[in-house]
Structure 1
Amino acid sequence: MLNTNHPNFNKMDELSEKKVPFFFMVDFLVEKVEVYTEDNLKENGLSIHFQNYTNTIERRAEPKNVQLRAYLESKESYRKGYDEVQHHLQLGNSYLTNYTRKTEIEINLSLEEIYHLSKAKYKVLYQDQFVFFSPETFVEIINNEIFTHPMKGTIDAAKENAIEILKNDVKEKAEHYTVVDLLRNDLSMVADDVKVNEFQRIDFLKTNKKNLYAMSSEISGKLKPEFQRKIGSIMRQLLPAGSILGAPKSKTLEIILKAENYDRGFYTGVCGWFDGKNLDSCVMIRFIEKENEKLYFKSGGGITHLSNFADEYQEMKNKIYVPIH
């Protein structure tokens, strides 16, 4: 598995024990762990808008007619990695593999405009390098109780009986059960009395293209004494996030690194805001990155042995959107 001994995890422990507010970002492979106290966020080019914290003033920007064009890779190109993933799923090396791609896009907005105009639970703009607008909480810690809300399974909200179809789709159900089981086990490493509070909740996501329904569950537990006020130690145990990796984690990571032909970087990593007492964190998805003056949208979904190729290719396309409306 990954080396999670980055020294900044110790720094996160020190700050949380001293009740000093801070923001952190960890990339997918847990190689980059960045920690910022509140007073050095702006000087490092970070704009943050979370549920209970922001360091930016909301601009009353005029709504724009968003023009987003995606230069999708061919189905043949997508299939190469997909077949690699399916090969391992059929062998039983993985039960769920999160397979993602990088798509070049053009949009008539800057990264900063996307940040200010987007409506999302979590938004971060990092210099002029990337912006994301994530709907997915990773973990919350409130009064030494830890919560996680895995989000797995989406459908076009315009479809007739969309919610019933999503809740009863055999593949989506299998994927959701697997992630809930994985994250329940993950939380058990840092918490006692772990339980599923809510199963297969349906959330509505409004986008500039089509509206989506997404399926989530809530799992909670009471932090073990040795993990209380130790945010770094908790992240060291839980990362990478199971919902954007798969199960079992170690073997599935090997499969992803072979099947995907690009570096995820901070995409599908985790970032969080510790306010001195409680933590709110998210999975860094719905992600646009600038590379050599071109923009790329990174998106994907969970693949199981029940997956249908055309549906998975379509899901990867569906997630290329900006929540501006």
Structure 2
Amino acid sequence: MTHSLIAQLNAYSRAKVPFVALIGYDDECHLACPLSEARANGLSFKLSSDKSTVQSTDAVQLDPLYPPFWLYEQAFWRAREYFKSGDAYLLNLCFKTRLGLKLGLDEIYVRSNAPLVLKFKDEFVCFSPESFISITGDKISTTPMKGTIDASLPDAAQTLLADKKEFSEQAMMVDLMRNDLSIVANDVHVERFRFVQSVRTNHGELLQTSSEISGTLKPHYAQNYGDLFAALLPAGSITGTPKPRVREIIAELESERRGYFSGVFVLYDGECLRSWVLIRFIGKDAQGLYFHSGGGLTFESGLNAEYDELCKKVYLAF
């Protein structure tokens, strides 16, 4: 995060000014403004409680051109070398899938339904199922999401919960987020470990596991949200552990910069703060539309299973 963005968010929170903020994975991607000026700054959003989503049964073809398997394979085996050397234990690897989708970002935004649906100018639409941090009073909580399975498979929930690789991934993520929250909060503890949530997509239902960690905000961070996000970002669920070294490895392995993808969106109403991780992300560039997706790797990961997960996460939320 830039010093100017940190100072701006600190000023808003101290004065209890309702605001929104887009904080990208890459530092040059950011926006913060009073909530009342969000639309004027090209930012539209809706929450799952909103009733503005347009329901449609029209068939829509994504026509995805997934990243070449050889490209993913090359990065996968390089990541495995870093696991062997002890440089990394968990690493989130992401690539772009080009889309032949015949819809514009406006229509995707209107028709999508998710805990957060967000559109920024003519640059991207995100329909995120993953909360980052929430603050109510002096309580802060986070619910990192790790582990995905096709809900149509026999005993899908039990299979997901019994998967040793997914258990290991979630355990490392919970440990990482406990350590991160301990920077800004006291009495950090796990409220729930590995509960299953359903995500509806245009090609079926997915099941994913999350955990909930909470604590009591330290007085300084309760008044200075810029400092708080500077301490916590980037989100552990889209980087890995140890976070500083994993960020360096991600920059080496991924073929393009992430930009806003895997950053966060922040909504503060003057009392409570909510934020979401910018995943399930359709971007637009000179070549057209693309979907940025990926998943967490550990030493126990299988190449074909991880590539398949990356592809399964390319979907529409309607």
Matched residues in 2 for 1:204 and 1:17: separation?
37
Q: CA contact under 8 A between 1:287 and 1:298: conserved in structure 2?
A: yes
**How far did residue 293 of structure 1 move?**
4.7
Matched, 1:13 2:10: yes
**How far did residue 74 of structure 1 move?**
2.2
- TM-score, normalization: structure 2? 0.97
Q: 1:306 aligns with which of 287, 295, 300?
A: 300
Q: Write out per-residue CA displacement over residues 298-318 of structure 1, whole angstroms, 9 at most, x where no aligned residue.
A: 000000000000000000000
> Tell me, what secondary structure is at the counterpart of 2:96?
strand
Residue in 2 that maps onto 1:32: 29
Q: Write out per-residue CA displacement over residues 168-206 of structure 1, whole angstroms, 9 at most, x where no aligned residue.
A: 111111100000000010000000000100110100111
Could you tell me which amino acid in structure 2 is paired with residue 319 of structure 1? Answer: K
Q: CA contact under 8 A between 1:118 and 1:133: conserved in structure 2?
A: yes
Matched, 1:132 2:126: yes
Moved more, 236-245 or 100-109: 100-109
Matched residues in 2 for 1:196 and 1:10: separation?
31
**How far did residue 106 of structure 1 move?**
1.4
Matched, 1:282 2:284: no
Q: CA contact under 8 A between 2:48 and 2:113: conserved in structure 1?
A: no
Q: CA contact under 8 A between 2:26 and 2:257: conserved in structure 1?
A: no
The runs of at least 4 aligned residues of structure 1 exceeding 3 Å deviation read 59-63
**How far did residue 40 of structure 1 move?**
1.7
Change (3 A) 1:61 1:167: closer
**How far did residue 226 of structure 1 move?**
1.1
**How far did residue 5 of structure 1 move?**
4.2
Matched, 1:174 2:171: no
Matched residues in 1 for 2:154 and 2:113: separation?
26
The size of the alignment, in residue pairs, is: 318
Matched residues in 1 for 2:244 and 2:231: separation?
13
> Tell me, what secondary structure is at the counterpart of 1:276?
coil
Quote the sequence identity (%): 38
Moved more, 30-39 or 163-172: 30-39
- TM-score, normalization: structure 1? 0.95
Matched residues in 1 for 2:135 and 2:205: separation?
30
Residue in 2 that maps onto 1:213: 207
**Residue correspondence of structure 1 range 38-49 to structure 2 within 5 A:** 38-49=35-46
Q: CA contact under 8 A between 2:265 and 2:275: conserved in structure 1?
A: yes
**How far did residue 82 of structure 1 move?**
1.1
Could you tell me which amino acid in structure 2 is paired with residue 12 of structure 1? Answer: L
Gaps of 5+ in 1: none
Matched, 1:292 2:289: no
Change (3 A) 1:59 1:192: closer
> Tell me, what secondary structure is at the counterpart of 2:160?
helix
Change (3 A) 1:162 1:179: same
**Residue correspondence of structure 1 range 107-186 to structure 2 within 5 A:** 107-186=101-180
Matched residues in 2 for 1:106 and 1:184: separation?
41
> Tell me, what secondary structure is at the counterpart of 1:189?
helix
Q: CA contact under 8 A between 2:19 and 2:35: conserved in structure 1?
A: yes
Q: 1:273 aligns with which of 245, 267, 273?
A: 267
Matched residues in 2 for 1:51 and 1:213: separation?
18
Residue in 1 that maps onto 2:195: 201
Q: CA contact under 8 A between 1:30 and 1:239: conserved in structure 2?
A: no
> Tell me, what secondary structure is at the counterpart of 1:81?
helix
Matched residues in 1 for 2:54 and 2:195: separation?
32
Q: CA contact under 8 A between 2:94 and 2:292: conserved in structure 1?
A: yes
**How far did residue 76 of structure 1 move?**
1.1
> Tell me, what secondary structure is at the counterpart of 1:297?
strand
Q: CA contact under 8 A between 2:178 and 2:189: conserved in structure 1?
A: yes
Change (3 A) 1:113 1:43: same
Matched residues in 1 for 2:234 and 2:296: separation?
15
Matched, 1:249 2:243: yes
Matched residues in 1 for 2:244 and 2:53: separation?
43
> Tell me, what secondary structure is at the counterpart of 1:164?
helix
Q: CA contact under 8 A between 1:30 and 1:240: conserved in structure 2?
A: no
Q: Write out per-residue CA displacement over residues 129-175 of structure 1, whole angstroms, 9 at most, x where no aligned residue.
A: 10000000000001111000000000000111111111111111110
